[in-house]
Amino acid sequence: MPRRMFYGNEDSQHGHWYPGDADKPVVTLVHGGYWRNLYTMSMETAVAKDLNQRGYPVWNIEYRRVGEPGVRWPILGEDVLAAIDYADAKLAKAGQIVVSHSAGSTLGVWAAAQRENLLGAVSRAGVLDLIERGDGDQSMRLLFDLAPNANLRLVKRTFAEASPVGRMPFKTPVRVLHGRKDETVPWQLAQWFCDNAQKNHMDVTMQIIENEGHDDFLEPTSRSHAATVAAIDELSTRTSD
């Protein structure tokens, strides 16, 4: 059974810790769910158990989300950074890989860009550029607490600051995975991120999983999850600087 551990003082600043093989890196999972508190880290429980059965230590984290009192950007990103730092200081014996999904990839890759000691980050069906996502997205407007008549120039500047693409160039390797049939986050968003990464000479690769969609990454029997495991295995052979 996993152990519940707190990386901060707030109720949502906790995670489930699954101990694994000492010679394998910690896999830190960052769940999606439109950045809202309707969705929890339980979305990643099946993935966490599967990765742990493969020998990986897993840190399945929760973070403060929109809907909790006073929570908006950058609190969510700061929580993910704190959870990564906690794992680095107390849990990771052989490095750390951040694996995120959907809206969680906005946070996970954004945070990973600022932690160059990580072995890498894996984005699954990720929202990697908020400007391209569009200011009409209601979840984004709630995340940033935007008024209906918010200044468009200011909005785009804020979106850029919170986007992984806005952190380019950065040194942390990123493996971008996306389902061709994803109707929630179009795969073209991932392609846009990778195109910009290539221009910035970053260590970023992209894989499209044919005939699978957004939530297949949460199913351990899917080809999307198999691609996730392969990406983790590849990054785990690296060494931290």
Q: How far apart are CA 203 and CA 109, in angstroms?
A: 13
According to DSSP, the β-strands at 58-61 and 14-18 are: antiparallel
Residue 61 makes CB contacts below 8 A (sequence gap 6+) with 7, 14, 15, 28, 29, 30, 31, 41, 80, 83
Q: How far apart are CA 68 and CA 34, in angstroms?
A: 14
Query: Which residue type occupies 141?
Result: R
User: Residue 30 forms beta bridges with which residues?
Assistant: 61, 100
What domains, with CATH codes, occur in the chain? 3-236 (3.40.50.1820)
Indicate yes or no: pTM above 0.85: yes
Could you read off the pLDDT of 19-67 as tens digits, one per residue?
999 999 999 999 999 999 999 999 999 999 999 999 999 999 999 999 9
Q: How confident is the model at residue 240 (pLDDT cuts 50, 70, 90)?
A: low
Q: How far apart are CA 79 and CA 64, in angstroms?
A: 7
Could you read off the pLDDT of 69-84 as tens digits, one per residue?
999 999 999 999 999 9
Q: How confident is the model at residue 138 (pLDDT cuts 50, 70, 90)?
A: confident
22 backbone dihedrals φ, ψ, rounded to 5°: -65, -25
Could you read off the pLDDT of 86-115 as tens digits, one per residue?
999 999 999 999 999 999 999 999 999 999
Q: How confident is the model at residue 12 (pLDDT cuts 50, 70, 90)?
A: very high
Question: Which SS3 state, helix, strand or coil, does residue 66 take?
Answer: strand
pLDDT at 10: 98
Q: How far apart are CA 217 and CA 233, in angstroms?
A: 16
The CA–CA distances, whole Å, from 163 to 7, 33, 52, 178, 193 equal 24, 17, 30, 18, 10
**pLDDT at residue 11 greater than cutoff 80:** yes
pLDDT at 134: 67
C-alpha Rg value of the chain to the nearest Å:
16
% pLDDT > 70, the chain: 98
pLDDT at 150: 76
Could you read off the pLDDT of 177-230 as tens digits, one per residue?
999 999 999 999 999 999 999 999 999 999 999 999 999 999 999 999 999 999
Q: How confident is the model at residue 135 (pLDDT cuts 50, 70, 90)?
A: low
Both structure tokens of 117: 């000691």
